[in-house]
């Protein structure tokens, strides 16, 4: 898996790294970053929640509306042709970015919708098969009692709840690969759990809480042995490291545009072509049909099969511009830069008295991967909301709460944590400003022994 994730020994040629000087230049492309918040220059360390946007992306969306706005795949006029070209060029560009063919990339509103699309298509296949519709091609996707869906204990709710509900609708059982006290996946247990009954294995490529990169190769091998479908939540990997869905050998992969420099309202689902063309649709309506009578409809092949109704055209065009920006900067360089920032965050956080770093310890690699540019932590005696409020008063934006991963937090003995996450525009000065603020939190709230404000 040399093409994926952060190679532990990644060494870029001398001078090829993104250094602070380049990060400063990159920042100039992001208007939102050059403002003051609460009387301090903004230190934005919440890119794991959503990224800021460069001018080229904002302009691409505006340019679409100013020069090409029309509905796509219908109408014969010139603007409709331009809009359709822009929309399909965007698809090809974003598909290539993750190593897929254009027809293997379905636009969705976000990654949550992409994961729900897979779960509902499988659920519809179960209904179709039960009612004799679609033949063997559909029957192979049908789930029922005795079948198992496997997730991990560290999943974001978006890659957990769709599977809970799919299990409920079909009578299949939902099982999970447990984590240890630190959050590491129990791969021995995974080998026992993933077996002949397993039909789907769904897991995240990179954890939105732990900052760890998953052992994709091992989990895919277990799933392949069981002849199960592999669904990868690539929300935290596609923006931050090179991702090649073919090299990873997954069947489906979901990611969100807004976490990778694009606007909200656009995400994508990668699916292997032969799977997408065989699955029943999820949302149905206009633009995804061949013939319709008053009784029934026939459906187009993928990707149109899964794109009912008027689509997110300007957002897809803007996501394409975002992908251009990332590609020009270089995903391997971004990954290497984030490994540096992630290490700086982890070392700094772990060094603060009374603060517990979640995920890999400083310098530690899990499954052969270094931490990416994200670190969550618990401050003893101070609730995460109070930590976030204190940092906000210094203009430092972090995420607080359970980060949509309640089971993971519960397993770690927490209800909430605070998370700092970096991106290509984050400077070492940002990290250091955050660490300086964090060092004062327990004193402010009277939680440290030497206490007193």
Q: Which residues are catalytic?
A: 404
* CB atoms inside a 10 Å sphere around CB 452: 6
Strand segments, DSSP code E, in 17-57 are: 36-37, 40-41, 43-44
Closer CB to other proteins, 99 or 183, in the complex: 183
By CB under 8 A, which span of 66-74, 227-235, 365-373, 378-386 interacts with other proteins?
A: 378-386
Closer CB to other proteins, 241 or 414, in the complex: 414
In degrees and rounded to multiples of 5, residue 148 shows phi and psi of -130, 140
What sign for the dihedral angle of Cα 105, 109, 115, 121? negative
**Structure tokens given for 421:** 């996450």
Residue 415 contacts other proteins per CB under 8 A? yes
Question: Of residues 30, 87, 163, 445, which one binds other proteins by CB under 8 A?
Answer: 445
Residue 384 contacts other proteins per CB under 8 A? yes
Number of residues that bind other proteins (CB under 8 A): 20
What would the x/- binding string for other proteins be over residues 25 to 44, using CB under 8 A? -------------x------
Length of the chain: 453
DSSP bridge pairs for 203: 232
Closer CB to other proteins, 190 or 438, in the complex: 438
Question: Of residues 125, 150, 250, 400, which one binds other proteins by CB under 8 A?
Answer: 400
Question: CA 205 to CA 215: how far, in whole Å?
Answer: 8
By CB under 8 A, which span of 121-129, 179-187, 341-349, 441-449 interacts with other proteins?
A: 441-449
Strand segments, DSSP code E, in 338-391 are: 355-357, 374-379
The 3-state DSSP class for residue 108 equals: strand
**Structure tokens given for 157:** 């709710």
* Cβ 36 to other proteins shortest distance, Å: 13
SS (H, E, C) 256-307: EHHHHCCCCCCEEEEECHHHHHHCCCCCCCCCCEEEECCCCEEECCCCHHHC
Question: CA 453 to CA 446: how far, in whole Å?
Answer: 7
DSSP per position, 226-254: TT-EEEEE-TTTTTTS---HHHHT-SEEE
What would the x/- binding string for other proteins be over residues 188 to 217, using CB under 8 A? ------------------------------
* Cβ 275 to other proteins shortest distance, Å: 35
Pairing relation of β-strands 267-271 and 289-292? Answer: unpaired
Closer CB to other proteins, 248 or 414, in the complex: 414
* Cβ 296 to other proteins shortest distance, Å: 41
Question: Of residues 135, 385, 432, 436, which one binds other proteins by CB under 8 A?
Answer: 385
Question: CA 447 to CA 453: how far, in whole Å?
Answer: 10
* Cβ 112 to other proteins shortest distance, Å: 16
Residue 94 contacts other proteins per CB under 8 A? no
Question: Of residues 82, 169, 197, 383, which one binds other proteins by CB under 8 A?
Answer: 383
Closer CB to other proteins, 79 or 451, in the complex: 451
* Cβ 383 to other proteins shortest distance, Å: 4
Residue 402 contacts other proteins per CB under 8 A? yes
**Chain positions contacting other proteins, by CB under 8 A:** 38, 382-386, 389-390, 393, 400-402, 406, 409, 415-416, 444-446, 453
């Amino acid at each position: 898996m040399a093409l994926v994730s952060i190679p532990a020994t990644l060494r870029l040629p001398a001078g090829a790294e993104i250094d602070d000087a380049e990060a400063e230049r990159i920042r100039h492309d992001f208007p939102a970053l050059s403002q003051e918040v609460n009387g301090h220059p903004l230190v934005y360390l919440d890119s794991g929640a959503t990224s800021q946007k460069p001018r080229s992306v904002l302009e691409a969306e505006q340019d679409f509306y100013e020069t090409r706005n029309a509905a796509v795949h219908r109408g014969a006029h010139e603007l409709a042709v331009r809009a359709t070209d822009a929309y399909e060029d965007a698809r090809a560009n974003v598909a290539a970015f993750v190593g897929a063919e254009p027809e293997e990339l379905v636009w969705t509103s976000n990654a949550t919708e992409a994961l729900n699309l897979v779960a509902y298509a499988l659920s519809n296949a179960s209904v179709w098969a039960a009612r004799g519709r679609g033949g063997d091609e559909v029957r192979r996707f049908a789930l029922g009692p005795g079948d198992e869906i496997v997730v991990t204990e560290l999943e974001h709710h978006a890659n957990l709840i769709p599977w809970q509900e799919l299990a409920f609708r079909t009578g299949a059982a939902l099982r999970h690969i447990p984590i240890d006290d630190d959050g590491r996946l129990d791969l021995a247990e995974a080998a026992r759990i993933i077996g002949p009954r397993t039909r789907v294995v769904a897991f995240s490529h990179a954890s939105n809480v732990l900052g760890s990169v998953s052992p994709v190769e091992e989990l895919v091998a277990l799933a392949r042995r069981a002849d199960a479908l592999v669904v990868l939540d690539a929300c935290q990997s596609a923006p931050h490291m090179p991702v090649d869905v073919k090299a990873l050998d997954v069947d489906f992969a979901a990611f969100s545009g807004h976490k990778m420099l694009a606007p909200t309202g656009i995400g994508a689902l990668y699916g292997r072509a032969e799977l997408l063309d065989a699955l029943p649709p999820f949302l149905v309506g206009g633009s995804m049909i061949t013939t319709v009578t008053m009784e029934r409809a026939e459906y187009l092949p993928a990707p149109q099969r899964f794109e009912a109704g008027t689509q997110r055209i300007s957002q897809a065009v803007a996501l394409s511009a975002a992908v251009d920006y990332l590609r020009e900067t270089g995903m391997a360089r971004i990954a290497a830069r984030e490994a540096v920032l992630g290490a700086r965050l982890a070392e700094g956080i772990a060094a603060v008295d009374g603060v517990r770093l979640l995920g890999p310890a400083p310098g530690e690699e899990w499954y052969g991967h270094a931490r990416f540019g994200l670190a969550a932590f618990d401050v003893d005696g101070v609730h995460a909301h109070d930590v976030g409020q204190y940092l906000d008063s210094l203009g430092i934006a972090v995420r607080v709460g359970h980060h949509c991963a309640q089971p993971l937090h519960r397993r770690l003995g927490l209800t909430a944590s605070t998370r700092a996450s970096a991106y290509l525009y984050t400077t070492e000065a940002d990290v250091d400003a955050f660490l300086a603020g964090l060092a004062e939190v327990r004193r402010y709230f009277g939680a440290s022994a030497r206490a007193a404000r």
